[in-house]
Amino acid sequence: MNFQELKSIIEGLLFLAGEEGLSLKQLAEVTEQRQELVADALEDMKSSFERAGRGLQIVQIAGNYQLATLPEHVPYFERLAYSPSRSSLSQAALEALSIIAYRQPITRVEIEEIRGVKSERAIHTLVNKDLIEEVGRADAIGRPILYGTTKAFLDYFGLASLDDLPDLADFESPEQLEEETQLLFQKLEEQQLTFDDVDGEEGAGSKENF
């Protein structure tokens, strides 16, 4: 493996790891390279990103390296997050939100195991819309982020508290995650449609677009 190939692999790994990032030790183990060489590759990548004027940067947070956007681009990200065309939640986001609501605190990996697909983008959307937040770190390898719902989640779906979530006792087999997810997914989807209809009739109503 040459140096350029190593950098390419590291970039892909950091992309897949998302906001949880990867430590120098993890990157070295996965690439089967010396930590010193991986560290040199990371530094070279940082410099090349800056020189090329890329929209991403490599940062180190709590000992882990991750790909991140540039602070000066925040206004554009806010426009995207709050644009009218993106005010409603996608099916993927609703599914992830359903799982988090029932199983919080929960990690991204656990969410993906339940959904069977990558969920980083859905989680990112929910965080941007202030519907979920980081509530801690799991006691596991890499200390992955634990997610939970916010007060804005309750407000958005008209819930007084988490106790107002659909009762799992309505199911014959409540231990099945797929059934739990589908139940809340249907409720949240119906609730969102109701809000969207009200907004359409009243124009700029009191409901805030997340």
Domains, the chain, with CATH or none: 3-73 (1.10.10.10), 85-192 (1.10.10.10)
Q: Per-residue pLDDT for 174 more than 70?
A: no
Helix 177-202 / helix 91-103 crossing angle, nearest 10 deg: 120
As given in the structure block, the two tokens for residue 190 are 């119906």
pLDDT value of position 83: 57
Q: Per-residue pLDDT for 173 more than 50?
A: no
Percent of the chain whose predicted confidence (pLDDT) is above 70: 74
pTM given for the model:
0.49
Distance CA 119, CA 24 (A): 24
pLDDT value of position 192: 54
Q: Per-residue pLDDT for 89 more than 80?
A: no
10-24: average pLDDT? 90
Using CA atoms of 37, 39, 41, 45 in order, give the dihedral in degrees to the nearest 10: 180
Q: Per-residue pLDDT for 182 more than 60?
A: no
pLDDT value of position 35: 94
5-9: average pLDDT? 95
List phi, psi (to 5°) of 32: 60, 45
Max avg pLDDT among 33-42, 93-102, 169-178, 199-208: 33-42
pLDDT value of position 14: 94
Q: Per-residue pLDDT for 48 more than 90?
A: yes
Extract the runs of DSSP E, i.e. beta strands, from the chain. 22-23, 56-61, 64-69, 132-137, 145-149
